[in-house]
């Protein structure tokens, strides 16, 4: 590929939203590298998706220590992208990583100890060739480590200059409140929470959104397309190569898709009536909540990414449309 020179107009179409009561603005749609950026995925496809995203105003790329497969390889891919394309634009980018899931053998390779969290961040920085990440997350709550220790490790990462902000992922409302209070006492406020949220997975509506408001924490919601179910992907059956057919990691099964198909078809009809793709309606729907700073999508092609960013053309809903969605989801 040729030398990358990003589009001049890249800041003209993307809305940027403030993460909670912080100074950091995030794009309404961000790109995650959980799938499609690993060591088994074609590098040039990953590169084309990342370049196109930045061209269209996506300033935030989300990673974690274990993204791949193999674990760590998405950060290595991102390191290559930094080196080849994005190094001149480091100050225009918000790059996040996380530690929490199983990463290396032995007792120090997962969960929330200070030992694991800080060693993992050092490894992530090395793989990505970065001096610091913009956001470092605790990827999951560890019931066996004092929360003060895990939050203390996040605070230390900031004091070491290895992270600018910190966040937590998939913490319950109560653990989120405790984490926020500890972090505030330490002087490193919690910037952001990263939970799952989509039409089929609405747990954050039961308490978490209220805690985010109360604590001034932003949110970036993952799998807003329910891993592709809330798109055209499965409308005509389950295509070869789609996520529901992947066997190296099984997070979405053909049975999941088939179980939701009745709702997916009806939601699609509603999206068509709005003059939108189902994916676009699904993204607008998560962004309707004021506490949601950004929708964190994945994409396996440039065409998917472009379609998803098309959501920005219509983010509003009539009360009738919202009621129709509730009716379909409640059936």
Ligand X SMILES: NC(=O)c1ccc[n+]([C@@H]2O[C@H](COP(=O)([O-])OP(=O)(O)OC[C@H]3O[C@@H](n4cnc5c(N)ncnc54)[C@H](OP(=O)(O)O)[C@@H]3O)[C@@H](O)[C@H]2O)c1
β-pair partners for 31: 61, 297
Q: How is 310-329 classified by DSSP, letter by letter? A: GGGG-----HHHHHHHHHHH
Q: Are 292 and 286 in contact (CB under 8 A)?
A: yes
Residue 308 touches ligand X, criterion: CB under 6 A: yes
- At closest approach, how far in Å is the CB of 3 from ligand X? 27
Site for ligand X in 10-69 (CB under 6 A): 32-36, 62
Residue 307 touches ligand X, criterion: CB under 6 A: yes
* Comparison of 35 and 116: residue with beta carbon closer to ligand X: 35
β-pair partners for 61: 31, 95
- At closest approach, how far in Å is the CB of 221 from ligand X? 8
The conformation of residue 84, written as its DSSP 8-state character, comes to I
Residue 228 touches ligand X, criterion: CB under 6 A: yes
Residue 300 touches ligand X, criterion: CB under 6 A: yes
Contact with ligand X (CB under 6 A) among 29, 224, 276, 285:
224
Site for ligand X in 230-249 (CB under 6 A): 231-233, 242-243
How many angstroms separate the CA atoms of 10 and 48, rounded? 16
Residue 176 touches ligand X, criterion: CB under 6 A: no
- At closest approach, how far in Å is the CB of 38 from ligand X? 11
Count of residues that bind ligand X according to CB under 6 A: 31
Stretch that binds ligand X, among 83-91, 222-230, 263-271, 284-292 (CB under 6 A): 222-230
* Comparison of 96 and 113: residue with beta carbon closer to ligand X: 96
* Comparison of 161 and 209: residue with beta carbon closer to ligand X: 209
- At closest approach, how far in Å is the CB of 100 from ligand X? 8
Terminal-to-terminal C-alpha distance of the chain: 49
Residue 223 touches ligand X, criterion: CB under 6 A: yes
Residue 169 touches ligand X, criterion: CB under 6 A: yes
Coil, strand, or helix at residue 206?
Answer: coil
The two structure tokens encoding residue 26 = 């995030």
Contact with ligand X (CB under 6 A) among 24, 130, 191, 226:
226
Contact with ligand X (CB under 6 A) among 77, 97, 138, 194:
194
How many angstroms separate the CA atoms of 143 and 284, rounded? 34
In the chain, beta strands by DSSP E: 16-18, 25-27, 29-32, 60-62, 94-99, 133-138, 163-169, 190-194, 218-222, 294-297
How do beta strands 133-138 and 163-169 pair? Answer: parallel
* Comparison of 48 and 318: residue with beta carbon closer to ligand X: 48
Residue 225 touches ligand X, criterion: CB under 6 A: yes
Query: Please, what's the b/e burial string for 25-55 (b: 16 or more CB within 10 A of its CB; e: otherwise)?
Result: bbbbbbbbbbbbbbeebeeeebbebbbbbbe
The two structure tokens encoding residue 264 = 């997916």
Number of C-alpha atoms within 13 angstroms, CB side, residue 79? 19
Q: Which residues contact 167 (CB under 8 A, 6 or more apart)?
A: 96, 135, 136, 137, 138, 190, 191, 192, 193, 194
How many angstroms separate the CA atoms of 281 and 283, rounded? 5
- At closest approach, how far in Å is the CB of 246 from ligand X? 7
- At closest approach, how far in Å is the CB of 197 from ligand X? 10
Residue 276 touches ligand X, criterion: CB under 6 A: no
* Comparison of 32 and 57: residue with beta carbon closer to ligand X: 32
- At closest approach, how far in Å is the CB of 320 from ligand X? 25
Contact with ligand X (CB under 6 A) among 130, 222, 271, 292:
222
The contact set with ligand X (CB under 6 A) reads: 32-36, 62, 139, 169-170, 194, 222-228, 231-233, 242-243, 279, 296-300, 304, 307-308
């Amino acid at each position: 590929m040729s030398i990358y020179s990003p589009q001049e107009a890249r800041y003209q179409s993307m809305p940027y939203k403030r993460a909670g009561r912080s100074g950091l603005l995030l794009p309404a749609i961000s790109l995650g590298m959980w799938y499609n950026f690993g060591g088994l995925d074609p590098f040039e496809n990953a590169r084309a998706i990342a370049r196109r995203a930045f061209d269209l105003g996506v300033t935030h790329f989300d990673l974690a220590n274990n993204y791949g497969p193999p674990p760590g390889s998405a950060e290595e891919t991102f390191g290559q992208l930094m080196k080849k394309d994005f190094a001149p634009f480091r100050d225009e980018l918000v790059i996040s990583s996380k530690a929490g899931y199983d990463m290396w053998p032995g007792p120090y390779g997962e969960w929330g100890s200070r030992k694991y969290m800080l060693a993992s961040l050092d490894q992530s920085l090395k793989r990505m060739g970065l001096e610091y990440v913009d956001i470092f997350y605790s990827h999951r709550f560890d019931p066996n480590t004092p929360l003060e220790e895990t939050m203390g490790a996040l605070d230390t990462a900031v004091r070491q200059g290895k992270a600018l902000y910190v966040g937590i992922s998939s913490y319950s409302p109560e653990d989120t409140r405790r984490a926020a209070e500890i972090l505030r006492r330490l002087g490193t406020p919690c910037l952001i929470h990263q939970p799952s949220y989509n039409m089929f997975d609405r747990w954050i509506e039961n308490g978490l959104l209220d805690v985010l408001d109360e604590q001034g924490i932003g949110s970036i919601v993952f799998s807003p397309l329910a891993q592709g179910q809330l798109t055209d992907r499965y409308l005509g059956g389950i295509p070869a190569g789609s996520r529901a057919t992947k066997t190296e990691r099984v997070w979405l099964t053909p049975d999941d898709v088939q179980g939701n198909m009745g709702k997916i078809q009806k939601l699609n009809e509603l999206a068509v009536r709005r003059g939108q793709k189902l994916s676009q309606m699904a993204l607008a729907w998560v962004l309707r909540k004021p506490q949601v700073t950004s929708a964190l999508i994945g994409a396996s092609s440039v065409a998917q990414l472009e379609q998803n960013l098309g959501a920005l053309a219509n983010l509003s809903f009539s009360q009738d449309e919202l009621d129709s969605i509730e009716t379909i989801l409640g059936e």
